[in-house]
Structure 1
Amino acid sequence: MCGIVGGVAHHDVVPVLLQGLQRLEYRGYDSCGLAVHTASMNPASEEGLHRTRSTARVAQLQAQVREESLHAATGIAHTRWATHGAPSLYNAHPHFSFGPHPKEQQLPESAARIALVHNGIIENYEVLRRELEAKNYVFSSDTDTEVVVHLIDSVYNGDLFEALKEATARLHGAYALAVMHRDEPHRLVGARAGSPLVLGVVGGDSPAHYLASDAMALSGVTDKIVYLEEGDLVDLQAAKYWITDSQGRAFDEQQRPVQTVQAFAAAAELEPYQHYMQKEIFEQPRALADTLTDVLEVNPALFGDSAWRHFEAVDSVLILACGTSYYSGLVAKYWIEAIAKIPVQVEIASEYRYRQSVPHPAALVVVISQSGETADTLAALRHAKSLGHNHTLTICNVATSTMVRECALSYITRAGVEIGVASTKAFTTQLAALYLLTLTLAQSKKAQDEASLAKHLHSLRHIPSAVQAVLALEPQIISWARAFIGMDNALFLGRGAHYPIALEGALKLKEISYIHAEAYPAGELKHGPLALVTSAMPVVVVAPNDALLEKLKSNMQEVRARGGVLYVLADAHTSIDNSEGTHVIRMPEHYGALSPILHVIPLQLLAYHTALGKGTDVDKPRNLAKSVTVE
């Protein structure tokens, strides 16, 4: 979840490192830091490794770098999301090793031998820490990361790459690492296991090589990217690089190809918007249209050349995901069972791998992730495959991600870069892809005739226009948000496929406004949650004009009878009108099975404008990060 950038060149890489950190700040913003090798540009320098760190945002780090006038041809940088140890200067990366020395001896930073940045979690760090402390290594942080830098120092014998290889063989857990040594000023080494790391290649007259946890960090610097695989180690100099596995077997360019990756610099600009979340909410019509660009008919080939064979072989679906992606899977369960007529099980990925499940190899395993690097979902996928599940498919927003590479089939949503931590356009494009999967499974199982499938597909292709109409409700939603600003709690209700939408609405509100919000199936209200209802507990109701509407109206009356205040997203012809204690926003149109995609838009806007009114950090909410690459 942290962000890593490192580089080695014949010119100053510090501007690239800082620019990369700015683009990765959404991955972690508890603290940040940068370390450079001063001798990489000035051989006469006696200092060697130099670092500067901050518990503020990257902008503050930039100011410190300018003040210290840092320039170097080799360096590493990091933005942190705290796991082990509180956000603090001494826990911020990069971490240094000064070698073994008496605990009471205070060494200057210029005496540092190794600098390291790390993304991931080292599970056996306590055992290693005790071992290293017995060798007189002094720990100055609470992190698991510091174990790694001292471990590398303890085995270093003149070759940093060999020391990294020996040290990583002893690590249990997940890591992406970038490391440099005082005695090797023109060298940078890295490794990855369970956490993403890419290599950026710059050729020509001014060659350079970079490491980053996300290709977006190198946008504008290079579009030539090598995606490192699980267990890879990389050795970088300005003009060349080597990639090997943990046993030292080298990979050539066929095995680790240099790919040309579309630059994302423009997508990362705010343009006229105040926040990335606001921008991404309003990008949803385009994102949905782009996701459906190539969909001219219902065809298994949309999911891969062998999709028809997998779809014909399966008799059920198992969906694995986390967070917002899990809620998209819950919606898909209603769609697939109603339209494709096959059973669906939806599991939280972080729970699935730790229980004794009954394998069913005839199930289609669907994993959903915005980044395709979500650690819990990847682990759940690998667990399912170990149980004999070979029919695997991912719905993902990143075509080059680990999840896409490890699944037999994939559908790539085209949401574009999503920087706001609270997911919006990634969610709605996932829903569009899952609806398309529903239709394709229905076709494979002959659960719907071609005329019915064509009608469903026509409705799906109209969704971008329908979403545009819903966005026009923003002024009415802003008036709701004013009422929510002073609230401490909120309740969200939905029924059927709109219950997961209520869950998503509650998640958005709690993520960015810090208002405690919970969602329930409306029929469960009388089984406990009704005890919480007072005039100080606003109740948001998702009320489409469907078969459950009359039941939902009864649930709403239960709220009003206890003095609760209702905020209702109602379709036309629902006979739900504004009255004392009942505030209604009328949706532009009822959209049948696809209604969940439309109803989530006002809930996103409600969360955004409530957070805006409360003055919270909308794009970077406390304690959260965007790409959850740790377990």
Structure 2
Amino acid sequence: MCGIVGYAGERTNEDVVDVLLDGLSRLEYRGYDSAGLAVANSSISVVKRRGELSALEEAVPADDLEGFAGIGHTRWSTHGPPTDANAHPHTDCDGTVAVVHNGIIENYQPLRDELEAEGHEFDSETDTEVVPHLIERALDRGDDVETAFRRTIDRLEGSYAVAAVCADRETVYAARQQSPLVLGVGDDGYFLASDVPAFLEYTDEVVYLEDGQFASIRSSGVEITDESGAIVDVPVETVDWDPEDAGKSGYDHYMLKEIHEQPRAIRKCLRGRPRALEGTVSIDELDDVPRPERVHLVACGTSYHAALYGARLFRERGIPATAALASEYAVDAYPVDDGTLVVGVTQSGETADTMRALRDAGGRGARTLAVTNVVGSSAARECDHVLYIRAGPEISVAATKTFTSQQVALAMLSSALADARSREFVEALRALPDRLQSVLDDSRAREIADEYVDADAYFFVGRGYAAPVAREGALKMKEISYRYAEGFPAGEFKHGPLALITDRTPVFAVINREANAEKMLGNVKEVASRGAPVIAVTDAPEAVGHHADHVLRVPDTHWRFTPILANVQLQLVAYWVANRLGRSIDKPRNLAKSVTVE
């Protein structure tokens, strides 16, 4: 949610504005409803607009904005609706300080009341606007800019990533608390952003800010200090992402590109981990993790569906496991001790609810492990252990390749922690990329989407390992087509959902020849007898075909992995339905890629 960019360096005027606008465009996937930027010189120049980034680009004056340092922002509305006034950056009374902010300032109202009582005038409804006014007050009392910024941050409660510029200062000041900020070290300047893709075109050298750290970014370098003001020596890391990975590469949408990247993503996820001769999985970075007495997997949205899949794998390996919605985990007070491993499954490594669950579990004595895609993310840094899924940048809001990579990573994790041995399992893991490619090459999903694009609703069902994939299929359809869809274990059909079945409600049934196939066929007959079209997604078309109206075939594999291949078919169906409906596929309404508020 929301995106921050910043730059300080040798670029001037048009170049600085271009850097900011380009960075904002690369953060559009995070979700936003307004955008703005500010450039610092002898004064502060601010331009901001509600709506798409194109509205901001059109509003930037033709004679450019002068300055060597600037900040930009894409806003996801929390306090106040999307308007020009509520868009970031926000300024102080004199317009000499500009601030952008991600997160929520929980004590903004008493701070605002305090400032208004002193005569400060506010132009927006946002919590963010207290920040420039607090900086202004500290400057008026004689503080230098850095001290004023520090004093202001000390007053804030909640989660935040804040960046500020001040007139007559070619510097960007930044701080974070439970909201991501990463610095980029370039040849002609320094960059700041919520996520690496914002500046990946300019540099792959990064520094990850920690909670409580402050950064001063100027053309001469970056200074990072802790809460006491002491300079912190931080490592510069190289991001293993090609700038081309963050582009569309000729595809109409990022989502379609990322669906087709899944074979490569899985190869990277597997690299160096399965041991074919021994029939084992070895994850070097987790060699010191003992076999847990129990596992709790916490996650949200798509990652929760991967967690459901992973929990079943752990249980079959003899390790008691539960998947829990991260937003409910602390509320439900799951008991933990030092024999509990709490696994946070989070694509971004910044999901607020998941981070809260991990912190709660760690505080109560559990060991924590992050399964994430982002090196240096909060989850990766704060957990006791981390397993990277290596999917590369995922720009589309609707997760595709990261979901598949999470499933594969959890399959390997369960096998490694249980010290399981199975050549058949490991060989099937190693063959997954080729199996995925064959699904992409031969899919009839577009034909199915064309036939059922005008359906009243869509149902997705499966049993066992296929049940989480059915849930995910429904979520993808909802996210990008805006059509009603529901996914659930097939046995639940007769406990209510059958009341919704008509000849305009197609049912997608994931059927695995080696897992509950007969029971699934019984469920298929239940809905077919009531007139619903049935689309079987299966590795057994010859046995299932005459019970279904259509078949989406998946190739033979280990029965635990059949749902992974079926998921790709369901991703394609959702994509082509949304495409036919003309939806904003990569940026669906009301949704954000990285949800950093609870």
Query: TM-score normalized by structure 1?
Result: 0.90
Residues in 1 aligned to 2:280 and 2:122: alpha-carbon distance in whole angstroms: 58
> 8 Å contact 2:283–2:416 — kept in the other structure?
no
Tell me, which stretches of 5 or more residues in structure 2 are unaligned?
Answer: none
> 8 Å contact 2:161–2:179 — kept in the other structure?
yes
Q: 1:401 aligns with which of 359, 374, 377?
A: 377
Q: 1:280 aligns with which of 258, 263, 268?
A: 258
Residues in 1 aligned to 2:242 and 2:26: alpha-carbon distance in whole angstroms: 10
Name 1:139's counterpart in structure 2.
122
- Identify which range, 618-627 or 527-536, moves more after superposition: 527-536
Is the partner of 1:620 in helix, strand or coil?
coil
Tell me whether 1:438 sits opposite 2:430 in the alignment.
no
Name 2:172's counterpart in structure 1.
188
Name 1:605's counterpart in structure 2.
572
Name 1:470's counterpart in structure 2.
439
Q: Which residues of 2 match residues 243-254 of structure 1 at below 5 A? A: 243-251=224-232, 253=233
Name 1:214's counterpart in structure 2.
195
Name 1:229's counterpart in structure 2.
210
Tell me, which stretches of 5 or more residues in structure 1 are unaligned?
Answer: 40-47, 99-110
Is the partner of 1:540 in helix, strand or coil?
strand
Q: Which amino acid aligns with 2:573?
A: L
Name 1:107's counterpart in structure 2.
none
Flag the 1:152–1:541 CA change in 2: closer, same or farther, 3 A. Answer: same
> 8 Å contact 2:306–2:468 — kept in the other structure?
yes
- Aligned residue pairs: how many? 590
**Deviation of 1:351 (Å):** 1.2
Flag the 1:560–1:300 CA change in 2: closer, same or farther, 3 A. Answer: closer
> 8 Å contact 1:177–1:192 — kept in the other structure?
yes
Tell me whether 1:624 sits opposite 2:591 in the alignment.
yes
> 8 Å contact 1:510–1:517 — kept in the other structure?
yes
Flag the 1:223–1:347 CA change in 2: closer, same or farther, 3 A. Answer: same
> RMSD over aligned Cα, in angstroms?
1.9
**Deviation of 1:158 (Å):** 4.0
Residues in 2 aligned to 1:29 and 1:68: alpha-carbon distance in whole angstroms: 27
**Deviation of 1:301 (Å):** 5.4
> 8 Å contact 2:80–2:126 — kept in the other structure?
yes
Residues in 2 aligned to 1:3 and 1:9: alpha-carbon distance in whole angstroms: 20
Identity of aligned residues (%): 43
Is the partner of 1:472 in helix, strand or coil?
helix
Q: Which amino acid aligns with 2:466?
A: H
Tell me whether 1:565 sits opposite 2:533 in the alignment.
yes
Is the partner of 1:188 in helix, strand or coil?
strand
Tell me whether 1:461 sits opposite 2:430 in the alignment.
yes
Tell me whether 1:383 sits opposite 2:355 in the alignment.
no
**Deviation of 1:294 (Å):** 1.2
CA deviation vs aligned residue, 1:521-544 (integer Å, no higher than 9, x gap): 111111111111112222221111
CA deviation vs aligned residue, 1:30-70 (integer Å, no higher than 9, x gap): 1111111243xxxxxxxx11111122332342333253522
Flag the 1:309–1:49 CA change in 2: closer, same or farther, 3 A. Answer: closer
**Deviation of 1:551 (Å):** 1.2
> 8 Å contact 1:264–1:417 — kept in the other structure?
no
Tell me whether 1:310 sits opposite 2:289 in the alignment.
yes
Name 2:164's counterpart in structure 1.
179
Q: 1:201 aligns with which of 185, 198, 214?
A: 185
Q: Which amino acid aligns with 1:461?
A: R
Residues in 2 aligned to 1:575 and 1:299: alpha-carbon distance in whole angstroms: 33
**Deviation of 1:243 (Å):** 1.6
Is the partner of 2:125 in helix, strand or coil?
coil
CA deviation vs aligned residue, 1:458-517 (integer Å, no higher than 9, x gap): 11000001111111233x211111233223422211111111000000000000000011
**Deviation of 1:549 (Å):** 1.3
Residues in 2 aligned to 1:260 and 1:555: alpha-carbon distance in whole angstroms: 51
- Identify which range, 501-510 or 74-83, moves more after superposition: 74-83
Q: 1:350 aligns with which of 327, 339, 359?
A: 327
Residues in 1 aligned to 2:180 and 2:390: alpha-carbon distance in whole angstroms: 20
CA deviation vs aligned residue, 1:153-197 (integer Å, no higher than 9, x gap): 222334222112111112111111110122x33222111001011
Residues in 2 aligned to 1:358 and 1:508: alpha-carbon distance in whole angstroms: 33
Name 1:372's counterpart in structure 2.
349
CA deviation vs aligned residue, 1:228-271 (integer Å, no higher than 9, x gap): 101111122221332222232321x2xx1222334542111212
Is the partner of 1:67 in helix, strand or coil?
coil
Residues in 2 aligned to 1:350 and 1:68: alpha-carbon distance in whole angstroms: 48
Residues in 2 aligned to 1:223 and 1:497: alpha-carbon distance in whole angstroms: 38
Tell me whether 1:29 sits opposite 2:36 in the alignment.
no
CA deviation vs aligned residue, 1:340-373 (integer Å, no higher than 9, x gap): 1111011111111233332232022111111112
Residues in 2 aligned to 1:248 and 1:512: alpha-carbon distance in whole angstroms: 46
- Identify which range, 352-361 or 228-237, moves more after superposition: 352-361
Residues in 1 aligned to 2:240 and 2:541: alpha-carbon distance in whole angstroms: 46
Tell me whether 1:168 sits opposite 2:153 in the alignment.
yes
**Deviation of 1:578 (Å):** 4.8
Residues in 2 aligned to 1:563 and 1:262: alpha-carbon distance in whole angstroms: 51
Tell me whether 1:554 sits opposite 2:490 in the alignment.
no
> 8 Å contact 1:303–1:411 — kept in the other structure?
no
- Identify which range, 460-469 or 344-353, moves more after superposition: 344-353
Residues in 1 aligned to 2:124 and 2:442: alpha-carbon distance in whole angstroms: 50
